[in-house]
Amino acid sequence: MAEDKNDNAGGNRDQPSSDEAALSARLGSLDQRLSEIRDSRKLRTDQPGTESGDRAARASAMALGFRLSSELVAGVVVGAAIGWGFDRLLSTSPFGLIVFLLLGFTAGVVNVVRSAGVASRRR
């Protein structure tokens, strides 16, 4: 039985079967398509200014995000501080804190909307 396998394997090496020829043609076609895709990607990434433009856009977006979030947090903190001060002076605990905390949140949201330019785009 081992001898039969060796005989068949030796005979197939000399003459490639039609399956092997088809596989070889498919592999050649695949290699050609992959090389075309690699070349097109290389051309897109080799364009000058693309990478630095992406970095600048990311940095700008991150700076805008930090600015907007700091404006919202600042509004809430200032409102809470004013409310705490009123509660302390007038002994109206916790009503001043609650009212001014909500007012600070509202002011922070309004500042974020103004800074983001959403309000000016609608007009």
Query: Is residue 103 one of the residues assigned to a domain?
Result: yes
- Say what the pLDDT of residue 106 is: 96
* Averaged confidence pLDDT in the chain: 82
pLDDT one-digit tens code per residue, 85-104? 999 999 988 999 999 999 99
Query: Is residue 117 one of the residues assigned to a domain?
Result: yes
Lowest-pLDDT range, 8-12, 59-63, 90-94? 8-12
Q: What is the mean pLDDT of residues 32-40?
A: 89
Question: Phi/psi of residue 2, each to 5°?
Answer: -70, -30
DSSP letter, residue 48: T
**Between 65 and 48, the higher pLDDT residue:** 65
Query: Is residue 64 one of the residues assigned to a domain?
Result: yes
Range of 12-21, 30-39, 73-82, 114-123 with top mean pLDDT: 73-82
The model's confidence at residue 51, banded by pLDDT at 50, 70 and 90, is low
Task: Provide the CB-side half-sphere exposure for 78 (13 A, CA).
Answer: 12
Q: What is the mean pLDDT of residues 27-40?
A: 90
Show the domain range for 112: 59-122
Give the count of domains, the chain. 1
Centroid of chain to Cα 25 = 40
- Say what the pLDDT of residue 46 is: 59
Query: Is residue 17 one of the residues assigned to a domain?
Result: no
Query: Is residue 100 one of the residues assigned to a domain?
Result: yes
Measured between alpha carbons, how far is residue 121 from residues 25, 69, 114 in Å?
58, 20, 10
In order, the DSSP letters of the chain are: -HHHHHHHHHHHHHS--HHHHHHHHHHHHHHHHHHHHHHHHHHHHTSTTHHHHHHHHHHHHHHHHHHHHHHHHHHHHHHHHHHHHHHHHHT-TTHHHHHHHHHHHHHHHHHHHHHHTHHHHH-
pTM above 0.85, yes or no: no
Query: Is residue 85 one of the residues assigned to a domain?
Result: yes
Query: Is residue 31 one of the residues assigned to a domain?
Result: no
Q: What is the mean pLDDT of residues 3-13?
A: 52
Contact present, 72 and 109 (Cβ < 8 Å):
yes
> What is the Cα–Cα distance from 90 to 72, expressed in whole angstroms?
27
Query: Is residue 89 one of the residues assigned to a domain?
Result: yes
